[in-house]
Amino acid sequence: MGFEGGTEVVWSPRKPEDLLAIIKEYWRQAKGKLGKNVSSPNNRAFWRNAVECSIRVSAWPDWKRGTAEASTPEELKQLRLELLYYDEMDYWTRQACTDSLQYRPGWDDKGALIKPSCNHGFGCTTCWERYENRQEEATKNSCY
């Protein structure tokens, strides 16, 4: 079975080290300010939707957009690169677990739930599911 319907785009993600360096640089520039948390697949899905909406709204005519300004070509290029970056992170998350599914959610010394570190620090879908289930359970059992 072959590809039909136009030019096939061959895509390969960057190495995990390169992606992690981008995260590190982002947080260095944020200098402790509140920034995007894209460590988990759910967080990436949230930010991906926001970026896709920005791209879509930018293409609307002025009368439909209202007070929202159209994005410049440079901003649109940056938004598309951000989507590609999320896709690359999701690629590594969907790979088979490099720790043989040994992750069990636990708490660190500061009381935070330890995130999966398999797949070069991106976690795998199974380990993230365990993390989210434990987080949901902890939220139900917490007293406020």
Q: What is the pLDDT of residues 94-115, one digit of tens each?
A: 999 999 999 999 998 988 899 9
Structure tokens at 23: 């995260």
Q: What region, left, alpha or beta, does residue 66 occupy, with left being phi > 0 and alpha being psi -120 to 50 degrees?
A: left
The arithmetic mean of pLDDT across residues 74-80, rounded, is: 92
The arithmetic mean of pLDDT across residues 5-16, rounded, is: 83
The arithmetic mean of pLDDT across residues 25-49, rounded, is: 84
The pLDDT score that the predictor gives to residue 35 is 73
Is 79:57 a contact under the CB 8 Å cutoff?
no
Average per-residue pLDDT for the chain: 87
pLDDT band with cut points at 50, 70 and 90 for residue 125: very high
The pLDDT score that the predictor gives to residue 66 is 78
The arithmetic mean of pLDDT across residues 28-55, rounded, is: 85
pTM above 0.85, yes or no: no
Q: What region, left, alpha or beta, does residue 71 occupy, with left being phi > 0 and alpha being psi -120 to 50 degrees?
A: beta
Amino acid letter for position 102? Q
Which distant-in-sequence residues (6+ apart) come within 8 Å of 41 by Cβ?
90, 93, 125, 128
The pLDDT score that the predictor gives to residue 144 is 58
The pLDDT score that the predictor gives to residue 100 is 93
Q: Where are the domains of the chain?
A: 39-93, 97-144
